Homo-oligomer: A and B are copies of this chain.
Amino acid sequence: MPRRSNTFVKTRQDHANETAEDYVEAIGDILETQPTCRVKDLSAKMGVSHVTVTRILQRLSAERLIDKDPYGPCTLTRKGAAMAKRSRRRHQLLLDFLLHIGVPPTDAARDAEGMEHHVSDATLSVMRAVLQEDSNRR
């Protein structure tokens, strides 16, 4: 996924980080609705094979974002939980904003997923401000 201009060069590392955020967030979501998060839960949620999930979980584990034993469920470390929380907030704010300006829920949900990793803090702040302003107004 290339980026234009001298302002920003996207590396594989960035890419891997996005994936990490996606998975950590997904794990967080799952752990809110059920006691454990298993490979099969993630493969269902992410729409990929269990093999892909397994490999990615190995990386997350190496990066100390999750704890996981072979054949066991996974849990978030403090670090992982923090990342999940940040990611979740960002995601939620984006979704709220899209809904607020009138995007149909289905599209808003999909777009929020995709845009999540590409929205700067500056833009998020503006979105938050717009939401607050308009909620005060009524």
Q: Which residues of A contact B (CB under 8 A)?
A: 1-9, 15, 18-19, 22-23, 26, 44-48, 52, 98, 101-104, 106-111, 113-115, 117-120, 122-123, 126-127, 129-130
Once bound together, how far apart are the Cα atoms of A104 and B9, in whole Å? 20
- A3 in contact with B126 given A107-B120, A110-B120, A115-B118 (CB within 8 Å): no
| Number of chain copies forming the complex | 2
B110–A98 CB distance below 8 A: no
Once bound together, how far apart are the Cα atoms of A73 and B26, in whole Å? 45
Once bound together, how far apart are the Cα atoms of A66 and B130, in whole Å? 42
B126–A103 CB distance below 8 A: yes
B123–A8 CB distance below 8 A: no
